[in-house]
Structure 1
Amino acid sequence: MSDQPTVRRPGWVTALLLALSVMMIVVFLLLGNWQIRRLAWKQDLIAAVDARAFQDPVGLPDSFDAEEHAYLRVSVEAEYQQASVVLVKTVTEIGPGYWVMMPLHTDQGILWVNRGYVPPDFSTSEHWATPAPPVIGLLRPTVEGGTLLESNDPAIDRWVSRDTREMSRARNLGSTLPFFVDADHQGAPGAWPRGGLTVIRFSNSHLYYALTWYAMAALFAGALVYVIRSARHKNPDVP
């Protein structure tokens, strides 16, 4: 039985595969470089937030920029409007319950303050410590609409996100600032609401992602060299 002739791949197919492989290597390298730039940005962000959150409190900014003022520690001298409280569903390290949101009337408009967390059994004001100025805490941008799983429904007073302007409309309040204050804890250590629960933590896996993309580029490059050397070994006429 005679051997059948070997069918050789057209040269243009080989060239196309090589070009695609080279393109993939370049793409992986670019993605790795992008993650390195993201790593530098995230490290600068973490350092900036740490500096803001743990500095001495300052007054409210004249205009709010989320990138510049998020987690800024502030102090506000104003009286709470306890009649307009809003309870926002939450889950904290303590357990499920509510954030107690209360508005303040300031010269710049209505400022909502998150006094802290209360469990469901302590969701009425008779269980809460009496608030007293000044309000000291961290600035947070308003969270509009709701969460991925639920939406705010002012008509039935159901709140799942701290949407300051929508809360003011529901309580017939005036012009409202586009941020709120996560207040420090007031009163005895075990008093409700439990303030000071702001989580200041940012995921930072950019170095891991960068190394993954660089490893993919290295694997593609190694495979490409292997294929070229194998082809030249089988056919010495290949340049």
Structure 2
Amino acid sequence: MRRLILPLFFGILGTVVLVWLGTWQLQRLAWKEGVLADINARIAAEPVALPERPNPELDTYLPVVVSGHVTDQEIHVLASTRDVGAIYRVVTAFETEGGRRILADRGWIKTENKDITRAPHSATLVGNLQWPQERDGFTPENDVSENIWFARDVGDMAAVLKTEPVLIVVREATYKVSENGPSVTPLPVDTSGIPNDHLGYVVTWYGLAIVWVAMTLYYLRRMRKTKKA
């Protein structure tokens, strides 16, 4: 029996640790689902007037409504969608009726429509404030000269278009589309880009716990058979 104590100890210890990790990830899953539910509720809430001084920490996802003028000053951000493939997001300088200049992510166009002129026009935009964090160590530098961007860097876009560092991602728009070019399709804010891998971790840790128990029982059985032999 003394020969079985050590492997039994490690078997029990490993199982306890793995089950604890799985349970912890299960708790994290419930927390993350609550966070995502809160964000979704915030995104879909009734829009309000644009704050005087939007705060990136407090006002991210805040739904707002603004009326004013869509300019022809555009930034094109290379992106992709599952259904269309490569696209450009169109970020425009928007002049509000109150005289402010902000950024408006109007939506997407096909890559072949990049250089088609979209004339200025009046509009009312409903959308959500956002300060995207899309840049990592693998993101190429923006090619400002060719107007090909790889991330929506709000500060840099605001400097180029001479606006406030405030971005509205449009979900609904009321305006007259120019006859000189195709319309821009809104690409609203959602939570699909927020990672939630906790369920996978739950399955992994509980699965490893089952394997650990099976291996421990197999090892103990082999030791008993060896001893009898």
Whether the TM-score (by the shorter chain) exceeds 0.5 is: yes
Match of 2:77 in 1: 88
Bigger fraction of residues in strand:
2
Q: Deviations over 1:14-51 (max 9, x none)?
A: 73x55544443233223212221221122112311221
Aligned residue among 136, 149, 152 for 1:162: 152
Paired position in structure 2 for 1:72: 62
Higher CA-based Rg: 1
Any gaps of 5 or more consecutive residues in structure 2?
none
Q: Matches of 1:75 and 1:69 in 2, distance apart?
A: 14
Alignment check: 8 A CA contact 2:122 2:175 kept: no
Change (3 A) 1:233 1:91: closer
Match of 1:5 in 2: none
Q: What is the CA-CA distance between 1:65 and the residue it aligns to? A: 4.4
Percent identity (aligned): 24
2: CA distance between counterparts of 1:136 and 1:229?
A: 67
Q: Residue 95 and residue 163 in structure 1: after superposition, are their counterparts in 2 closer, same or farther (change >3 A)? A: same
Contact 2:42 2:62 in 1 (8 A): yes
Give me the whole-angstrom Cα distance separating, in 2, the residues matched to 1:187 and 1:147.
38
Looking at structure 2, the residues matched to 192 and 47 of structure 1 have their Cα atoms a distance apart, in angstroms, of: 32
TM-aligned CA deviation for residue 163 of structure 1: 1.0
RMSD of aligned Cα (Å): 3.7
Query: Are the aligned partners of 1:116 and 1:194 in contact in 2 as well (CA < 8 Å)?
Result: yes
SS at match of 2:48: coil
The one-letter amino acid of 2:169's match is D
Residue 120 in structure 1 maps to residue 107 in structure 2: no
Q: TM-score, normalised by structure 1?
A: 0.71
Q: Does structure 1 residue 216 correspond to structure 2 residue 208?
A: yes
8 Å contact from structure 1 (residues 153, 159) kept in 2: yes
Cα deviations by residue, 1:119-172 (Å, 9 ceiling, x for unpaired): 23333463x37543332112222346478352213354331111111122234x
Task: Report the secondary structure of 1:219's partner residue.
Answer: helix
- TM-score with structure 2 length normalisation? 0.74
1: CA distance, partners of 2:207 / 2:133: 38
Taking the aligned partners of 1:78 and 1:146, their CA distance within structure 2 comes to 34
Q: Greater relative contact order: 1 or 2 (C-alpha under 8 angstroms, separation 6 or more)?
A: 2
